[in-house]
Structure 1
């Protein structure tokens, strides 16, 4: 039976079109991911060279004045890219993988990023995750919407029904042939991506693999349920496409609109403005107003002189610190609201397999918003350690020779890729089982 069904399916135009479409777009998406990785590696290599050359050049110009030298020097923290990022690029096209900062106020530098083509950002990246989330369900719909109705409309169903008592089994076998074809293509593309992108087959790769298989299984169950309603081809096609639009486009858009309005995040510009105001207003105040708060944070510098009638680096960098201090609450509020948005989205996604799959792929690939927030948190700590390491030398009027510049090459941030298998798989698995049981109950009526 299965050999006949496979031969019959392989002779159809939909098989050839689906095979060509999935393989072509899938391979293109893998090479787009490859281009993304190459671009990031080039950027990181250029940043490392730039930092080394910049230190060398500026030290030559400002060797005697360490405070002035560190006004100009930038130090780079790099979020080390992993090849698995290329499977689901997520938000890493707008959230930079590296930040080059001075020891001056951080808030004005934290949200710097490259200019990108807005139309490209709006359409998103054609990565493999996009192909799995959006294209694979459409191919399944195209191959399965008329499994029963075509036989009915062509008048062959009565002949088939007369030849077998297991009518539901026959429909299930036809569906299984198509599902197996889709799974074979999916598995091929995932292993091809692993080979081309040189992704190690670690826990995160297998998690993406299982999540992708489970996602396709969900759509397979949904198509089986629609077939089990025993409606005509037009109804099935329209209903399944409508469900696809609702699950992949409408609900994510509504959820996004809800969280944006329910948890309004202060603009990064607000924190930047508050930082600048907190810094610039100190120029017009008595120096004690600046130094009092600075000394509270760094009491070890309380005996350093701060002349009222002339410029001093301890006062200047104290102003820079106070600028960040003024923006502290706004920055913390922004981070908290972003995390709340993500939490609410994840909770809603537990009941929406398309959203859950997308968020899961981004999280497993390390390209989600929480990964970027962790990077920014690490950047804040990096900046704090950096400036505190220089403060004493600056305030003691040391020269550039007092610093071992070989220790100030670009630093790397190591990302945490941990996850929960239960949280990853259970939501989609339960929904798939429920739909499959409903489809089975309907098919018993045949």
Structure 2
């Protein structure tokens, strides 16, 4: 029976076109993922080469003053990009994966990003997560909306009912064939991605695959419940497409609007201006006031006395530090609001399977907002480490030639946060069991009436 049902299903021209179309789009998404991966690798290699040449060139032309040299030199920190990130690009297409900073004020540099076409950013990347979240459900709806109603409308359902001992089991077999077809297609795409994108066979890929399967089953569960209502094909098609539109576009947009208004964040530009204004006003202030604040922040540098000269690097870098210190409140507010947004989106997403799946896929790929927040915190630590290393050398006016500049390589931040399996799978599991249970009740009730 299963073999016959599968032949009837796959023989349909619409089925073949639908599966082929989705397979082609999925492979295109892998190509886009590969382009993203290559761009990231290229940027990292170029950053490493640039830093090496940049430091060597400046050390050659600014031999006399360590403070002047450090004014120009940039040091880079890379947010490690996992191969699986190519399947779910997430925040990585808008937030930089490389931070290059001098030891001057951090707040004016922290939110620098690459120049990108705003139209491309608006549209986003058609990565595999987009194909899974948006397009797989449409094919599932096309395969299942008339799975029973078509036979009832054509008058062949009575023949099926008389020839089958259990019509409910027959319906389950129809769904089983379609579910298996989509899971096989998903498996082919991800198997191809393993070789094409060089994704390792690890816990992240396994979680990504199981979550994708759970999401596919969720949409089959939705269709199963709607079909169980025993309405006509037009009703099923309209209600399922309405659910798709609501779950994929309207509800996420509404939630995003709510979170943005609930937790408004100060603009990064405003924060940068605050830092720069706090720094520039120090030119007109008493130098001793600036130094006192600097010593309060770094008591270990109290032994360095302000020279009588009109300009000194001790005073200059103290001004830079005060710019950061005086914008610290706004910086903290921005970080807090972003963390609140992230927490709120995770909490609400537990009740919205589509949004939950997207967030979890990004989290697995280390391309979510939480990863970006961790990277910004690591950038701050990285910047502070460089400052504390060079401040004594600047204040002592250490010889530039005596420093081993070749040891300053590009550093890498690796997000080691663990995957929470309960958080990833439980919401989808609950929705799937609930919808399947309700659908089974409707079908068994209908069978009793027959």
- Structure 1 length normalisation: TM-score? 0.98
User: Are 2:304 and 1:304 aligned?
Assistant: yes
Which has the higher mean CA deviation after the structures are superposed, 384-393 or 117-126? Answer: 117-126
SS of equivalent to 2:93: coil
**Aligned-partner Cα distance in 2 for 1:211–1:424:** 7
Asked whether the equivalents of residues 143 and 178 of structure 1 are also in contact (C-alpha less than 8 Å), the reply is yes
| Matching residue of 1:234 | 234
Alignment of 1:38-437 (within 5 A): 38-307=38-307, 310-437=310-437
**Aligned-partner Cα distance in 2 for 1:83–1:188:** 18
**Aligned-partner Cα distance in 1 for 2:228–2:13:** 24
Asked whether the equivalents of residues 64 and 398 of structure 1 are also in contact (C-alpha less than 8 Å), the reply is no
Please report how far the alpha carbon of residue 417 of structure 1 lies from its aligned counterpart in structure 2 after TM superposition: 4.2
**Aligned-partner Cα distance in 2 for 1:126–1:300:** 52
Please report how far the alpha carbon of residue 301 of structure 1 lies from its aligned counterpart in structure 2 after TM superposition: 2.1
Please report how far the alpha carbon of residue 309 of structure 1 lies from its aligned counterpart in structure 2 after TM superposition: 5.0
| Matching residue of 1:4 | 4
**Aligned-partner Cα distance in 2 for 1:343–1:424:** 15
Residues 237-270 of structure 1 show CA distances to partners (whole Å, capped at 9, x for unaligned) of: 0000000111111110000000000000111112
Gaps of 5+ in 2: none
Q: What RMSD over aligned residues (CA atoms) do the two structures have, in Å?
A: 1.0
**Aligned-partner Cα distance in 2 for 1:319–1:390:** 16
SS of equivalent to 1:188: helix
**Aligned-partner Cα distance in 1 for 2:432–2:410:** 47
SS of equivalent to 1:100: strand
Please report how far the alpha carbon of residue 303 of structure 1 lies from its aligned counterpart in structure 2 after TM superposition: 2.9
Residues 78-106 of structure 1 show CA distances to partners (whole Å, capped at 9, x for unaligned) of: 11211111010001011101011100000
Residues 25-54 of structure 1 show CA distances to partners (whole Å, capped at 9, x for unaligned) of: 011101110010001111111111111111
Distance of aligned partners of 1:309 and 1:398 in 2 relative to their CA distance in 1, 3 Å threshold: closer
Residues 338-369 of structure 1 show CA distances to partners (whole Å, capped at 9, x for unaligned) of: 11111111111111110000000000000001
Asked whether the equivalents of residues 110 and 376 of structure 1 are also in contact (C-alpha less than 8 Å), the reply is yes
Please report how far the alpha carbon of residue 17 of structure 1 lies from its aligned counterpart in structure 2 after TM superposition: 1.1
**Aligned-partner Cα distance in 2 for 1:416–1:121:** 28
| Matching residue of 1:439 | 439
| Matching residue of 2:21 | 21
Residues 194-227 of structure 1 show CA distances to partners (whole Å, capped at 9, x for unaligned) of: 1111111111111101100000011111111111
**Aligned-partner Cα distance in 2 for 1:415–1:154:** 57
Asked whether the equivalents of residues 77 and 99 of structure 1 are also in contact (C-alpha less than 8 Å), the reply is yes
Please report how far the alpha carbon of residue 121 of structure 1 lies from its aligned counterpart in structure 2 after TM superposition: 1.1
**Aligned-partner Cα distance in 2 for 1:414–1:135:** 32
SS of equivalent to 1:78: strand
**Aligned-partner Cα distance in 2 for 1:67–1:236:** 72
SS of equivalent to 1:412: strand
**Aligned-partner Cα distance in 2 for 1:178–1:255:** 32
SS of equivalent to 1:96: coil
SS of equivalent to 1:99: strand
Alignment of 1:30-41 (within 5 A): 30-41=30-41
Gaps of 5+ in 1: none
Deviating above 6 A after TM superposition, structure 1's stretches of 4 or more consecutive aligned residues are none
**Aligned-partner Cα distance in 1 for 2:81–2:344:** 27
Residues 385-421 of structure 1 show CA distances to partners (whole Å, capped at 9, x for unaligned) of: 0011000011001121232112211111112241211
Which has the higher mean CA deviation after the structures are superposed, 315-324 or 117-126? Answer: 117-126
